[in-house]
Chain A
C-alpha cells in the first residue's frame, strides 16, 4: 500500500521530470530489509575477492595501445658517427636506470667523440660510453647533464623469456624516421623461433654468439639496432640486433638478443664493477692444425673434386677401427657427433677438431638405411 502511494505520486508529476520516485518506496524497517542489506554487502565482498583472485597477473593487464604509450618514453634515439656509404649515423637505445643509463648496441655509431641522445619528447642530451661488451654486442651510455632528472626505464633484471607464437612489439628508430621530438616507430609481430647463432662458424657474420629471438616482423631495419622487443603487455624481451644475414638460408634475419643474457653485464657496467670477459677464442691460433684424419680411424674418403663433394667412404683398411664397427665403402658419412656433414671438406674439418679421449660417433647412409657407429678417438703421440 505504501509503495503504491509513492508510485502514484510520481505519475502525477510533469513530463520533464525524471520519475525518480519509481526508485523509491515507503521505508520498512523489517528484518527482511536488514538481511537484504547484509546480503548486498556479502555479495559485494565476494565479488571484490573473486576479482582479486581471478586476475592475479593483471597488474600489467592492458591492451597494446596502452603498452605503447607507457613504453615510448623509455626508448631513445641515438645519433653519432656514420653517414658514409651504407653505415647509418643513427641508432636506438633504451633507459635501464632512472638516473639515465642507456643500453644500446655496440656499433660504429658510438665511434663519435660526442654521442647525442634525443628522448621521445624531444629533450636532447649528450652521452658518453660508460662501458661495453662487444661479444654481447652491448654498450651502456650515460647521459651528460642529467643530474637530478629521473627517467622512466626498463629494469633488465625483470626481463622475461617467451615462446614461439607470442605476440611482440618492436620499438626502434628505423630509418631515422622519428624526427626530433617524436617517439620511435613501433612494429608488431610474433616470435618466429628461439634459436642460437654461432658467430664463430662463419655462418653468421655477427660479433654476438648465443641465443636469440627470431622475430616474425620487420624489426631489424637500418638504425633499429639497440631498440627493444617487448610483449604486448610491455614486458621486456630483448634488444634488437644489427642487420644480419643467415648464410644457411641466404636471407636477412629479424632477431633480438634476449635481455636475460645482457642483464648482468648492464648492472655491472652501471655499478662500475665491470670486467670485460676474455674472448675464449682469443688465444687460439687462427689456423689450427688438424689433429686427426679419417685414416687414423681406418677409412679413406673419395677425392674432393667439387666444392660440395659428398663425404663418401672410398675404402676401409683391414683390421682398423672402421673395419671393426662395420663401415663399408660407398657409405655416405652424414653426421659426425651430431654435426651434419655437407662435404668431404667439412668431414676433414670435423675429424680434425677431435680431442683424444673423445668418442667419434658417425651416422652413415647405406642405401636407404641410416647406420650408427661409434669409435674411440685414439691417443695421439705428440
Chain B
C-alpha cells in the first residue's frame, strides 16, 4: 500500500498561473506522487473515454437527424392521405375555353364522405366532359356524376356509387400556422402512386378570405388534390385562383411558380350539405358599391344602395359610411371586400354604418341576384359646354346645366322644360356639370318623383318631375349641337401642347400601322375639328374578309362633320379570319390613345360591329364598360349573356337591322331581352333592306343615337 505524500510537499508546489501546460505538469506531478482519481475524477474520465470510443462516423450533426426525420414525416403524411385521394379522368368535351388550351390528362379529387362524394377543382371540368371516371387508390374504377359547383371557391362536387370510402380528415382552421410544412399531393402523374410537392404555408385567408397560400408546386398535376400537414390531415383542396380575376382559368398561369392556393377543407365541409342538394353556390351580394375607386386608400362611403337589395330593405342609403362588418372594424374598401369575398348566397352579414351623427346596425341575408338596376329618364339633352370653359366647376356660379332639347312626351316635356332653361338644382343637389346631373338623374327610379329647380329668363322655378324608363324608340329628329369653326390655325392643337414641340393633330382621313402586332387602323377626324368642343368617337370593327373602309367612310363622313363624330376604323391582324380574342388589347389601347390626343367626350365613345364582328364587339364592350358607353350592332345577333347592368357603368345599346335581313328576328329579340334586364336599348328596323351594311336611313338613325348618348 502506498503512502500518501507529505502534505507540505503539495503546499510547496503552488504555482501562480493556470494554463494548459501548467495543468499538464500539475497532473503529472500529482500522479507521480501517487495520487489517484477521486470519485468525481473517475466519473469524468469514464465519460471522456466512452466518448472517445465512439467511432468517428457516428459523430452525427443534429442537422442530419432533423433532415432524416422530416423526410420520414413527409413520406408518412403522403401515405396517410393517399387512401382519400382519387384519380379523375374525363372523356370528350371542349378543347379550349377562352382561348386557353385545356389538357386532357388525368386530374385529382378528394373523398369527403364515405358514401361516395368527391370534391375537386372546377378547372378539371372546364371542358364540360361527356363522361367522368374516378379511380380509387385500390385501383377500383367508378363512373362519376358532377353534382354542383361552388362558383365562389371554384370547386366541383362529384358523386360515385360506392361505399366504405375513406374520407379525408380536415385540419382545424385555427391551428394552421404560417410557416408550417404543407405538402401538395395529387394523383395525376402516375396511376399507381401519388405525386408530391413539399412546401410551407405562406399565408392564410388569401384571395379575399378564401384560401391558404403555399409555395408547394401547385399545377394541373394536383389541382383538386390535397394540401396536407405533416400529420397527413388535409389543410385544403388545391385550386387555381387569382385575386384580380374571377374567370374559370384565372390563376393557372401561376402554376409551379412558388404561389399556389388551397381552399380550407373545413370550409368545404361546412357547405357540403348545400352542394349535395345539386344547386350551384354563388357569391352572396349585399347590394351596394363604393364611392371611392381606391381599394386601399379610399374610405368606406357607399355610393349607391341598389334598389330592393338586402341593404335597401334594411334601410341603408346612399352616402352611409360602413363602420363594421361581422364584428370587424373596416376603414378601407379592401377590408370590406375581404369580408364579403368568401360569402355565399344565403350567408348572413352583420353591418353597422354611420350617417351624420347617428349609427345604424342590421343583420342582412345575402342574395345571389339583385333586381336589375334601372336609371330614370327625364328627357333632356344637355347643352355641351366648351371644353376647359370651367363648366365642371359650374362656370358662372349657380348656372347649372342648360337644356339643349327636350324629348317629346317625356317627363321634362310634361313639366314644361324648354330649350335654354338652366337646371340649377336636382333633388336638392346644386348642379355644376352635365356629368353630375346624369349621375343624379340615374339615382331616381322610373315612377319616382324628383324636385327640379330651373332658371328661365333670370327667374327661378320649382318643378316636380315623375321620371320614366328609357324609351324604346329613338326620337325621329334630334338637333345637332353646334360646333364653332376654329378661330385661327393655332387653336387646332390642344391647350397643353401650346408652346411645345407639339405634333400637329391630323384631321381628315389618315391611317397608321402598328409595328409590333400586325394591326392597323384608319381614322377620319372632321376637317372642322375644334379642340374646344368634345367629339363623339366611333370605333368601327370590321367583319372578317373586308374592312369595309370605303363603305363606312363614305356613309359616315357627312354625319361625322355634322354631329362631331371622330371615326376610327380598326383593322384585324388577319383581315380574312377576322378578330381574335387577343386583339382586344390593341383595340382598347388605340381607342384610349385617341381619347387622349383628341378632345373626346368620354360619355360618347361607341363600339360598332357589323355581321360577324358583332360577337367580338359585344365581348369587348362588356369587358371594358369603363371605356365604352355605347354598343352599336348592325345586322349582327349575339348569343353572349350580358353581365348585370351596373350603376357605375353607363352602357347603352343600339341594334339596327334591315327588315329583310335573316338576322332581323334574333336582333329584335336581343333588344327586347336587353330591355328586360333594364339596359337602355333601342332597336331600329330598316324597311326593305337585306343583309347589307345599313343605308342612309340607317346611318341617320345611328348618328342620332350616338348624338343622344349624353341624354338625361
Residues of A within 8 A of B (CB): 2-3, 5-9, 12-14, 16-18, 20-29, 33, 36, 40, 43-45, 47-48, 51-52, 54-55, 58-59, 61-66, 163-167, 189-195, 214, 216, 218, 232, 246-252, 307-312, 332, 334, 340-343, 363, 365, 367-370
Contacts and interface: CB of A to CB of B under 8 A. Distances in A.
10 contacts: A13-B14, A23-B41, A36-B42, A47-B53, A192-B189, A246-B105, A251-B219, A251-B221, A332-B131, A365-B133
A40 B46 contact: yes
Contacts, number: 238
B38 A334 contact: no
Given A22-B38, A25-B35, A64-B64, 7 more contacts: A165-B196, A232-B71, A249-B219, A251-B256, A310-B92, A334-B131, A369-B161
Contact of A343 (B36, B92, B141): B92
A25 B161 CA distance: 83
B357 interface: no
A17 B22 CA distance: 9
B38 A307 contact: no
Nearest to B89: A340
B49 A23 contact: no
B103 A165 contact: no
Contact of B196 (A33, A190, A248): A190
Contacts of B23: 18, 20
B505 interface: no
B217 A216 contact: yes
Contact of A165 (B74, B106, B142): B74
B665 interface: no
A47 B54 contact: yes
Interface of B: 1-2, 4, 7, 10-11, 14-18, 22-23, 26-27, 30-31, 34-42, 44, 46, 49-50, 53-55, 57-58, 60-61, 63-64, 67, 70-71, 74-75, 78, 89, 91-95, 101-106, 127, 130-131, 133, 141-143, 145, 161, 188-190, 193-198, 216-217, 219-221, 255-256
Nearest to A27: B36
Given A24-B36, A165-B71, A5 B4 contact: yes
Given A20-B26, A26-B4, A251-B256, A214 B54 contact: no
Contacts of B161: 368-369
B104 A63 contact: no
Nearest to A232: B67
B58 A58 contact: yes
A254 B189 CA distance: 12
Contacts of A61: 57-58, 60, 64
A26 B63 contact: no
Given A164-B194, A164-B195, A332-B91, A247 B103 contact: yes
A248 B53 contact: no
Contact of B91 (A62, A252, A340, A369): A340
Looking at A165, A250, A311, which has the most chain B CB atoms within 10 Å of its CB?
Answer: A165
Contact of B35 (A27, A58, A63, A307): A27
A36 B93 CA distance: 84
Given A27-B34, A249-B220, A310-B92, A40 B49 contact: yes
A328 to B, nearest CB: 15
B190 A195 contact: yes
A326 to B, nearest CB: 17
Contacts of A45: 53
B48 to A, nearest CB: 10
B38 A25 contact: yes
B75 A165 contact: yes
A23 B55 contact: no
Contacts of B17: 16-17
A343 B256 CA distance: 29
Nearest to B19: A18
A308 B104 contact: yes
Contact of A17 (B18, B131, B143, B256): B18
B443 to A, nearest CB: 48
B140 to A, nearest CB: 10
B46 A43 contact: yes
Contact of B143 (A5, A214, A342, A368): A368
B18 A6 contact: no
B194 A342 contact: no
Contacts of A308: 91-95, 104, 127
Contacts of A48: 53-55
A249 B193 contact: no
Contacts of A16: 16-18
B92 A216 contact: no
A238 to B, nearest CB: 16
B679 to A, nearest CB: 34
A27 B35 CA distance: 5
A195 B256 contact: no
Nearest to B145: A368
A373 to B, nearest CB: 14
Given A24-B36, A248-B106, A44 B55 contact: no
Contacts of B44: 23
A197 B67 CA distance: 30
A250 B93 contact: no
Contacts of B15: 17
B143 A369 contact: yes
A251 B220 CA distance: 7
A341 B92 CA distance: 9
A368 B142 CA distance: 8
B40 A23 contact: yes
| In the complex, the 6 A-B pairs of residues with the closest C-beta atoms, listed nearest first | A248-B105, A310-B92, A23-B41, A193-B195, A24-B35, A249-B220
A255 B9 CA distance: 77
A191 B256 CA distance: 15
Contacts of B10: 6, 9, 21
A189 B198 contact: yes
B131 to A, nearest CB: 5
Nearest to A26: B4
A64 B196 contact: no
A63 B67 contact: yes
A123 B662 CA distance: 79
Contact of B37 (A7, A18, A24, A52): A24
Contacts of B255: 251
Given A26-B36, A43-B46, A340-B89, A307 B198 contact: no
Nearest to A165: B75
Given A9-B7, A9-B11, A248-B106, A310 B50 contact: no
Contacts of B38: 3, 6-7, 22-25
Looking at A51, A248, A249, A309, which has the most chain B CB atoms within 10 Å of its CB?
Answer: A249
Contact of A24 (B30, B75, B194): B30
Given A58-B60, A61-B64, A167 B37 contact: no
Given A23-B41, A55-B58, A341 B194 contact: no
A12 B12 CA distance: 11
A12 B8 CA distance: 11
B185 to A, nearest CB: 9
Given A55-B57, A340-B89, A365-B131, A192 B2 contact: no
A301 B255 CA distance: 38
B67 A249 contact: no
A230 to B, nearest CB: 14
